[in-house]
Structure 1
């Protein structure tokens, strides 16, 4: 079996209560399930455990979909561990894994992760062709001697919280809604790379971020953001787009730190998106653009001052 060596290497110290999924973004719906996983695991003296995948199954099963993730595997693992999950296991998702039947997959997990029970959401499915429905999972539970508990969906304002809903809100630039659905600000992380320094010429030196191409981004526009770098945080204004005033081009993520003085090149930074200010615009002159940036900065200061209260 292709995944057996990986599962053997995980070797949990005790029996586990497990949940299985991508957990992209580790959003409010995920945390609702994970809180119940931890409570039930404590009641049964089991380890709370999460089995997640890298790369995301969608990218292997449907590579043409070009799905962008809300969080890469490193951020997912960090977030899950930060919630106090006892065991976070990452399994390589390959075409060979995709061909496993639900019975084969659950048998291996039952054996090597010492799984005594599984807790999942109502739309859960796994195995070849997503054959492993909740109904089949209960059947396998009886055969392989593990419990199955289904957690109802988590809703906010009548909408079921999901990674798909978050991607939709993100594409629309509705970072306030994304914040509600995720329970925290959406963020991206990247390394500052060299640029044409047009921002510096305008009096607003920006950090041009090298973002992984699979990373989901808010829709093009200007945003009030919080930037974290070297253990400190700074108010910032971030532009996502093609810079139409200067002829357009490839999509860029550029951040202006309001209270930072120093060289940023080569540094890694995290940008948290608070609120969208406006659409990306094409200005008739650099001076007109500079006046708009000055206005944007004042608006960012006002927005972030309210956030800090």
Structure 2
């Protein structure tokens, strides 16, 4: 069915639905375990499998000063959920009104009555309803009398710890994109639009794509990274510099990509910059010429650093 924005526009499903509920930022191994259980249960019970997610993290509404940055944009998240096998994604607006719904009303009025939910699949730490009063135990007690069964999925363990969006954000935030990829089950991809920059790169022989990211998008730590960018059907290796361009006295944080072997105008295009590994810290160079020589070395290191697949 694709993506449905808003719970009031969801068509009636006579068969009933099995639903996985969560923000699912990152769509990591733990989320995909939930989706696997959802698809299996829905198939056996003859229900439509659906992912119910939210347009924003609850903390962005309830505690803006503590709200996390996003691993994925909303459209990336929907695409990744679809890629995990869940064809229908419902995106609900997370508002103060929704946050103030009691756990009873969320379960009965929204899940059962509006969405025809007959089975719920959630992670063990799932919370819902006003003041986060609903949890797995409540679902197990209150669901069956309403005709709703529940499956809770244990956390997936990778590198001796549970996979979580919080853990992945911390890795990306310190530039550890390689270990973040192990928890995600694919490489971290930063999505943004190519915009006009100062065009300094052209003057030293390395045209750059300046990437404007979405608000509240998580950006890796400052430094230089081996990356891959898909343009059309071709994958171009390159290097991404995240920083303040100290050689040119630029104060604003920028995301710039130098691509190997690409020539063309991509202004206005939306790109995914796929991070393979961190190459080095941001550096100050004595001259544009010494910067150009370092970029050549970075591109040499980047070539071959991005094998095409990471167990997706």
Q: How high is the TM-score relative to the length of structure 1?
A: 0.94
Partner of 1:18: 19
Moved more, 50-59 or 133-142: 133-142
2-structure distance, mates of 1:23, 1:8? 21
Q: What is the CA deviation profile of residues 89-121 of structure 1, one whole-angstrom value per residue up to 9, with x for unaligned ones?
A: 111110010011111111121111111111111
Q: Superposed, which structure 2 residues align to 1:14-53 within 5 Å?
A: 14-53=15-54
Moved more, 195-204 or 134-143: 134-143
Q: What is the CA deviation profile of residues 129-179 of structure 1, one whole-angstrom value per residue up to 9, with x for unaligned ones?
A: 100022222222133221121111111121100111110110111111111
Q: What stretches of structure 1 move > 6 A for 4+ residues in a row?
A: none
Task: Say whether residues 1:178 and 2:184 are aligned partners.
Answer: no
> Deviation at 1:78?
1.4
1-structure distance, mates of 2:117, 2:84? 20
Contact 1:47 1:86 in 2 (8 A): no
Q: Superposed, which structure 2 residues align to 1:107-186 within 5 Å?
A: 107-108=108-109, 109-186=111-188
Does the C-alpha gap of structure 1 residues 165 and 12 become closer, same or farther in structure 2, counting only changes over 3 Å?
farther
Count of paired positions: 304
Does the C-alpha gap of structure 1 residues 282 and 53 become closer, same or farther in structure 2, counting only changes over 3 Å?
same
Task: Say whether residues 1:71 and 2:67 are aligned partners.
Answer: no
> Deviation at 1:302?
3.7
SS in 2 for 1:49: strand
RMSD: 1.7
- Structure 1 alignment gaps of length 5 or more: none
Partner of 2:85: 84
Partner of 2:228: 226
2-structure distance, mates of 1:142, 1:307? 46
- Structure 2 alignment gaps of length 5 or more: none
For residue 293 of structure 1, the aligned residue among 292, 295, 300 is 295
1-structure distance, mates of 2:114, 2:127? 20
1-structure distance, mates of 2:206, 2:67? 34
Partner of 1:9: 9
Partner of 1:56: 57
Contact 1:208 1:253 in 2 (8 A): yes
2-structure distance, mates of 1:262, 1:47? 44
Q: Superposed, which structure 2 residues align to 1:251-262 within 5 Å?
A: 251-262=253-264
> Deviation at 1:231?
3.3
2-structure distance, mates of 1:87, 1:191? 27
Does the C-alpha gap of structure 1 residues 33 and 243 become closer, same or farther in structure 2, counting only changes over 3 Å?
same
> Deviation at 1:74?
1.3
> Deviation at 1:33?
1.3
2-structure distance, mates of 1:55, 1:307? 31
Q: How high is the TM-score relative to the length of structure 2?
A: 0.93
Moved more, 271-280 or 239-248: 239-248
